[in-house]
Amino acid sequence: MAKKEMGSTSMLVLALLKEKEMYGYQIIEELDRRSEHVFQMKEGTLYPVLHGLEKDRLIAAREAETVKGRVRRYYAVTEKGLRVLEEKKKEWNTFSKAVTAILAGA
């Protein structure tokens, strides 16, 4: 995934993973909780995004087995991922301010 093509889903995922490493199901739950049910992401959307970010080395994965013997993949942000996240945040803030300014006059 090229930087320019990176969508808002990727940005949200990176922002969540910046705090702590998480596995797929946890990411969906956390997004849902924090956005107060606005972002209810489908698994079909999340995993291609996660794997794309991993391929671009913005996040890294490790596998760990749960006590029940379930193998989970935990994702964490890389240095490169943190840099991209910062850029994306700046872009988003500019965009958001612009939209707010226009809507304020409507």
Partner 1 sequence: MSEKDWLDTATKKIRFRPDRKAVRRELEAHLEDMREASGLEEDAALRTMGDPEAVAEELGRVHKPWLGYLWRASQAALAGAAVLYCVMLGMLAVRPGYSYRVLPGMGLYNYLQTDVDMLDPACVIEARELPPGAAFETGGYTIRPERTVLRQVSGTDGPQWNLYIELDITLSRWEEPLDYWFALSGVRTGAGTPCGMHRMSACWGFWQKCGLEFEGLPEDAEWVELDFGYGQLRRTLHIDLTEEAEA
- Residue 86: CB minimum distance to partner 1, A: 24
In the range 45-84, which residues lie near partner 1 by CB under 8 A?
45, 47-48, 51-52, 55, 70-73
Locate all alpha helices (DSSP H) within the chain, ordered by sequence. Answer: 8-19, 24-34, 43-55, 79-104
C-beta of 75: minimal distance to partner 1 in Å?
10
Cα–Cα dist 24/73, whole Å = 7
Cα separation, 97 vs 102, whole angstroms: 9
Both tokens assigned to 97: 């301010």
Binding mask 2-31 for partner 1 (x = CB under 8 A): ---------------------xxx---x--
Q: What is the spatial distance between Cα 13 and Cα 50, in angstroms, rounded to a whole number?
A: 8
Minimum CB–partner distance for residue 73 and partner 1 (Å):
5
Contact residues: partner 1, CB under 8 A: 23-25, 29, 42-45, 47-48, 51-52, 55, 70-73
